[in-house]
Structure 1
Amino acid sequence: TAKILGPMAQQPRAPRVYRVVVVGAGAAGMQCARSLQSMYGLAAEEVLVLEARPQVGGRVSQSSSFAPGHLVELGAEFIHGTTTRLNGLAEKHNWELQPLFTWAHGDGGPGLELAPDGGYGLYYIGRDRQMLRFDSQVEDFKHMNHLIDLMYQTSPKDTDDDSRTMGEYLLDGKASPRMVALADAGYSNTNAASNDTLAYSGCCKNERMWTEDDGEGDCRPAASFRVLLDALLYASPKEGGNLNVVTGRVVRNIAWDEPDGLVKLSIGKAGGLGSPDEVIVAQCAVVTVPLPALRDSSLPSATLRFHPPLPESKQLAAKAIGVGQATKLLLRFSSPIAPVKCHGIVCADTLIPEFWFRELRSSSGAQYLITGFAMGKYAARLADLGEAAAIAGALDQLAEMFPGTNPRQSLVHGEMHEWSREPFIHCGYTFPLAANLVPPEVPASLSSFRAFSELAKPLPNGRVMFAGEAYVTRANMTVHAALDAGARAAEEASRFLAGSHSSSRVAAGGAGSGRDRPHPLSRL
């Protein structure tokens, strides 16, 4: 089994120097460790992964209690694209996948064809109480979809210096007010923001990269995203062995410019502040914490510090990137509320901007899971309401959208999960921040999409690398972006070790471009 340990005191007390210490056991951190062991030849005992939370996975997390007999996703749920590193893992490990209709504009929707099971997407205009299907020929709906489609056809020279928000772009494109509201729910909400906080230029960059690199299509693991965590944690000795992970330990300080050329990580127990009780020493380190943990020192659990402080360019880059709240409202019903072939719905001018639908089958019969997905201002609104009022509002909205149903009567159980309240995470994911919201001290050279690349750079002496969905040189926000960043950081670490009188077997791993591009399946 993987070495997911409890108290650090269980480890040998003899001083030692790890080749690499990875801070964070989310998707990026575990992919980094997996690449170091499977691709670059490091032994499991040479790579230590430290996780502050009691379990691995970060924003890939499931509940086994919400719907007995099923793992229900609390965090990441979908595989976006068809040619990503995540798709490669699914193929390699023979995951059963459920193809989906792509409904959200921020994910490339509306799709042009039904999903293989006949699934489709719906679009609800709250102000008019009008329901549209994905293939509706209503003119303003078609025009808004066209405006979003145009974004992936742009070129950097046309958009890189464009300071408009997504809202301004849509208004300039003559989108109707009700379709601007629909885009706020179906595009900006998916991007963790709103029309008024999302940078048009950064969205165009992401659209181009998703189209070039990822392929079209969405699906979900039929069981749960736990298959990803297992694929990263466990491997045969031939593929590098299981990962060496210690949970419940918080990295308080990283001394990265010591005279002896080593990185010193001060470790404290989760939940305990004050002086650390352990120092871990490594040749280099990879930091994969969510952006708030790096940036927001005022948060109770955001206690990570660097000595010396991070370079000014990296601190400014962190300020130039938006961070969105994320909330999932989980609702379990005894009977279906939406049409059985509806995979998802985008809702304008409503409390909940997006709902996802899924049938949960077991030997005892079927139950019906509806997930309300809210980010940014929508998530903040739900937080203000509280769980009970948010669930009541969602039930009223569902009853309005699907006349003839009785959501209150068929509700079995409901819960609200707010990622902004999760210790050591405090966010959903990042987004390209509108230029007018970037702090004035941030130079124009660090516009939001350029800030991501700056944040991804190793520290000047090369001893500390960064990975995660926020630390990317390509597109952000997705699980496969986190995986690609983890693999890129592993490559950077292997090159650093190879240049620091490291063993030849590490150097033999080779180095490529260092960009967050998917590796071929054979190199996973």
Structure 2
Amino acid sequence: MYSCSGVETINSKKPRVILLGGGLAGLRCAQQLVTEHGFSTENVVLLEASTRIGGRIRTDKSFIEGFSLDLGAELVHGDQTSLYRLAEEKGWKMEELISLAQGDGGPLPADSNDGWGLFYVGGEKRMLALDSKDPAFVHLNDYLGSLADLWPAIKLQEGQLVLEDEDGPSEIGPMELNPPPSSGGEAAVAITTAKVISPQPLQQRGQRRRQPLSLRDGLEAAGVGKSMMGVADAGYANTVGAALEDTSLAGTCYVEHEWDVDGDRTFVLQTDWPVSKVEFTASGLATVTCRDGRIEQGTHVVSALPLSVLQDGDVEFVPPLPEAKLSAFQHMGLCSIVKVILKFDRRVLPQLLHGCICSESFIPEFWFRHLPNLPEGGYTMLAVGFAAGPRADAVTSVKPEEALKKALDQLDDMFRGRKWLEGGGCTGKGDWEEAVEGNTGIAPEHCEPHRETSGSGGQGEGTLAELPSSAYVGGLVHDWVKDEPFVRGGYCYPRIGFDETTHAHLAASINGTLFFAGEHTNTPTGMTVHAAIDSGDR
């Protein structure tokens, strides 16, 4: 352990940086200070509240012997990011997956493999293929895919949405944000220079809306019905980590638009060091105090603390943070996240099935991992259930053993008696769509034994003779709120009230001595590991 009174730093006039938080943002910033900016080891001090580093990166090696299981972040988003470049540089093994969930770039198949995904419409017991031509499903995806294009025209000013064009705010209106449905009883949104007509039945149009629109408002205005609203909730909203009604429409458009545009030396590290106070004196010296009274002193402080810690006032800042920054903290939300992980001793689902979005279901999203033959245990398949925001809260409202049972029962219900195709190019084919999307050709519950046979085009065809529960051997539940008290959440999303200035306020430094990093300060690429890394570079 290392401690410094700060006297040497003041006398030598060398900058000494104290970093708060040992997640990816803090670690990256510390690394860059030493390797790229020439700071000496003793003048870069990273303080982490818990007994481990990594923040929302956490790997478990005990659940399956010989296999590293990610309990936190596990996906690399895109091949043009700092994380992807780092993975290539380090030679980390990566596997290309489909982009399944709306809000995560999907639904879009991978370019270099034949993986596929499904959308389970729980209320109707329907299973849609990734490229289903169901008109309501296509309409939902078209609308969500258009959000990025809406941002250049939409600005959030003083709590009101304004439509702009190249010549400035339009004086001619109303103009439709979404084409109104033909049915007079459906909802529509109209945007003018100074007012927003709320999504209400058309005969009631003309009422002013005095608060920003939510993503649910936009979906309703676009004519998305109940069934597909459930898919949007399980796919897009679960990915964002918030309820549709709590997610800013303008903020979502902004984030989607920005998303599209998108060493060997060491430093001093101290874990089990929860910070309680950061105080700057008139002379510019910063004193950082631990909950147990220990102190560190330096000339500069970088806060890479989770948004929850800042929102809840766990750390006292002296002088107090500016009101604009405190307000910006509240315009972002840190969603709750839970993973429900099931392991199986044999493969009972098609190997090329990467994942499934599940509306009106206990677990809104599953992805599947097919494991190599390990020396012990014989586990060959994992089902990772992912829930965020209010869906995570529903999962954690029951005991872990009950959550595991409900997740397993859901998988049984989803795949009981369904036909499947194995092999390359199975999505987009008529026989696959007939078997899954249209719910025709479904094998009866008393299926023939699970098999792979040669079919037309070299595809194997089979039915699920075994339900997933027949191969289940154990599971675990990891709650990123209850199990991670110094993090208390997953990733950030734009709350109602978010505007284009929120990002600037979150990232702004104070007096050139107090700086802020973390994925919440990098909202254009937020919700990702590379957002945290890039904020550390900044």
What is residue 35 of structure 2 aligned with on the other side? 38
Q: Deviations over 1:23-55 (max 9, x none)?
A: 111000011111111221212221111111111
- 2:529 aligned to which of 467, 479, 486: 479
- 1:401 aligned to which of 414, 417, 428: 414
- 2:396 aligned to which of 383, 391, 397: 383
Tell me by how many angstroms 1:451 deviates.
Answer: 2.1
Give secondary structure in 1 for the equivalent of 2:526. Answer: coil
More helix by share: 1
Give secondary structure in 1 for the equivalent of 2:487. Answer: coil
Separation of aligned partners in 2, 1:353 and 1:307? 43
Tell me by how many angstroms 1:319 deviates.
Answer: 1.5
Separation of aligned partners in 2, 1:323 and 1:14? 35
What is residue 267 of structure 1 aligned with on the other side? 290
Tell me by how many angstroms 1:366 deviates.
Answer: 4.6
What is residue 81 of structure 2 aligned with on the other side? 84
Separation of aligned partners in 2, 1:114 and 1:313? 42
Separation of aligned partners in 2, 1:159 and 1:409? 53
User: Is the aligned partner of 1:462 residue 2:512?
Assistant: yes
Give secondary structure in 2 for the equivalent of 1:30. Answer: helix
User: Is the aligned partner of 1:411 residue 2:472?
Assistant: yes
Tell me by how many angstroms 1:11 deviates.
Answer: 4.9
Separation of aligned partners in 2, 1:336 and 1:168? 42
What is residue 95 of structure 2 aligned with on the other side? 98
User: Is the aligned partner of 1:56 residue 2:53?
Assistant: yes
- 1:361 aligned to which of 372, 384, 389: 372
User: Is the aligned partner of 1:212 residue 2:261?
Assistant: yes
Contact preservation (8 Å) 2:395, 2:403: yes
Tell me by how many angstroms 1:294 deviates.
Answer: 0.9
Separation of aligned partners in 2, 1:61 and 1:203? 28
Separation of aligned partners in 1, 2:129 and 2:99? 12
- 2:504 aligned to which of 423, 439, 453: 453
User: Is the aligned partner of 1:187 residue 2:236?
Assistant: yes
- 1:151 aligned to which of 147, 151, 175: 147
Separation of aligned partners in 2, 1:259 and 1:307? 11
Separation of aligned partners in 1, 2:102 and 2:374? 36
Separation of aligned partners in 2, 1:337 and 1:208? 39
Separation of aligned partners in 1, 2:23 and 2:270? 13
Tell me by how many angstroms 1:12 deviates.
Answer: 6.9
Give secondary structure in 2 for the equivalent of 1:65. Answer: coil
Tell me by how many angstroms 1:430 deviates.
Answer: 1.2
Tell me by how many angstroms 1:286 deviates.
Answer: 0.3
Contact preservation (8 Å) 1:25, 1:56: yes
User: Is the aligned partner of 1:425 residue 2:487?
Assistant: yes
Separation of aligned partners in 2, 1:27 and 1:337? 36
Separation of aligned partners in 2, 1:380 and 1:427? 11
**Uncovered stretches (5+) of structure 1, i.e. residues with no partner:** 1-7, 214-234, 269-275, 298-302, 436-446, 489-524
Separation of aligned partners in 1, 2:154 and 2:402? 45
- 1:200 aligned to which of 228, 246, 249: 249
- 1:294 aligned to which of 298, 310, 316: 310
Q: How many residues align?
A: 429
Q: Deviations over 1:381-438 (max 9, x none)?
A: 0111121111111011100111143233321111111111111111111110124xxx
Contact preservation (8 Å) 1:433, 1:448: no
Tell me by how many angstroms 1:449 deviates.
Answer: 4.8
Separation of aligned partners in 1, 2:153 and 2:514? 33
Over alpha carbons, which structure has the higher Rg?
2
Contact preservation (8 Å) 2:96, 2:110: no
Q: Percent same amino acid at aligned positions? A: 34
Q: Deviations over 1:33-83 (max 9, x none)?
A: 111112212122211111111110000111111111111011001010111
Give secondary structure in 2 for the equivalent of 1:454. Answer: helix
- 1:328 aligned to which of 327, 339, 356: 339
- Closer/same/farther in 2, CA of residues 449 and 71 from structure 1, 3 Å limit: farther
Separation of aligned partners in 1, 2:126 and 2:155? 34
Contact preservation (8 Å) 2:24, 2:532: yes
**Uncovered stretches (5+) of structure 2, i.e. residues with no partner:** 10-14, 162-211, 417-463
Separation of aligned partners in 2, 1:473 and 1:328? 24
Give secondary structure in 2 for the equivalent of 1:425. Answer: coil
What is residue 122 of structure 1 aligned with on the other side? 118
Backbone CA RMSD of aligned residues: 1.7
Separation of aligned partners in 2, 1:452 and 1:382? 31
Tell me by how many angstroms 1:15 deviates.
Answer: 4.8
Q: Which moved more, 1:127-136 or 1:357-366?
A: 357-366
User: Is the aligned partner of 1:308 residue 2:319?
Assistant: yes
Tell me by how many angstroms 1:352 deviates.
Answer: 0.6
Q: Deviations over 1:315-343 (max 9, x none)?
A: 11111212211101111111224321111
Q: Deviations over 1:488-513 (max 9, x none)?
A: 1xxxxxxxxxxxxxxxxxxxxxxxxx
Contact preservation (8 Å) 2:6, 2:297: no
Equivalent residues in 2 for 1:164-175, closer than 5 Å: 164-175=213-224
Tell me by how many angstroms 1:120 deviates.
Answer: 1.2
- Read off the aligned partner of 2:505 and give its amino acid letter: E
Separation of aligned partners in 2, 1:81 and 1:370? 23
Q: Deviations over 1:334-358 (max 9, x none)?
A: 1224321111111111111000100
